Amino acid sequence: MTLIDAFENFLQYCRFEKALTNQTIQDYKDDFLQFQRYYPEKKEVKDLNKDDLNDFSYDQAINGLSPATIARRIATIKNFYMFLESDGIAKNIISDEIILPKKEKNLPKVLSEEEVQSLLNGPDQSTEKGIRDFAILEILYSCGLRVSEAVNLQISQINEQEEIINVFGKGKKERIVPIRKSALKALKRYINEVRSKHLVIDKKNVFIAKNGKAMSRQAIYNVVVKNAKDVGIQKEIHPHTLRHSFATHLLDNGADLRVVQELLGHTNIGTTQIYTHLTTKTLVKSYDLYRKD
């Protein structure tokens, strides 16, 4: 059987038995076309062998394709090979170990210290909304909180005398995080001048919506996005961006990695180490900017 006929049978199977979408079918066709371009000499099913997928994967990598694209193309051809074997059209053509390039780690987006300051300066603190927004932005950044931790933050968790907050993170794991004076002042002002004047149903929670219940994740997300837009920050931003920025700025200013791990509540230090890549990028950029050729 010719390879083209065999692949057409595979597409028919995908279309009518697996009910895959037209877009997926088109993606399969595109991937197979790339496979044919790499193996123009393979005309018949009998020409296929166990080395095909690894050789194809290697060629795609040295030609600069992303690991995600390579993985998708290999998955397409592997599915095709599995179809051939299950239908008895071919035998022993799938390698026991298919080598794929390692996926790139997506480094988190962070704000510069100047951008953070601009964001914090944004809310109009002559209004109740501005006072609330400033308190939210301050606590997210200065304590590196997850949005869920800000949503669930309770008044009893704030220790004004010690200038710390007790945070309950993933799995209810407790950690102690210092809170800088500006954030503590912002919280106190919000609680005393805004929260205390309105209906409060969820009395334990710090951040309260108009209906008296705890603010939702979406509401806090909206606060971050709107204020960033208002001050002209062009980057895609969300509450976790402030947590990423908190960690990166600590490391930039000489904090120990283990300390940052504790402040973030990471169980595995490997999770925290991703921020060292960001600080390394900053060093390289600074070197390139100021070096004398």
Query: In terms of Cα–Cα distance, which of 78, 75, 70, 87 is closest to 12?
Result: 87
Active-site option among 73, 132, 146, 249: 146
Contacts of 120 (CB under 8 A, 6+ apart): 134, 137, 138, 141
Query: In terms of Cα–Cα distance, which of 164, 112, 166, 60 is closest to 281?
Result: 112
Is-catalytic flag, 238?
no
Q: 164-168 and 158-159: which strand pairing?
A: antiparallel
Contacts of 46 (CB under 8 A, 6+ apart): 90
Active-site option among 103, 129, 170, 217: 170
Contacts of 163 (CB under 8 A, 6+ apart): 178, 179, 180, 181, 184
SS (H, E, C) 263-276: HHCCCCHHHHCHHH
The dihedral built from the CA positions of residue 231, 235, 239 and 244, taken in this order, carries a sign that is: negative
Is-catalytic flag, 243?
yes
| The pair of three-digit structure tokens given for residue 13, joined into one six-digit string | 């199977």
Is-catalytic flag, 275?
yes
Answer yes or no: are the C-beta atoms of 139 and 224 closer than 8 Å.
Answer: no
Is-catalytic flag, 217?
no
Is-catalytic flag, 240?
yes
Active-site option among 132, 243, 244, 249: 243
Q: What are phi and psi of 109, to 5 degrees?
A: -75, 140
Taking the CA of residue 206 as centre, how many other CA atoms within 13 Å lie in the half-sphere pointing to its CB? 25
Cite the active site residues.
146, 170, 240, 243, 266, 275
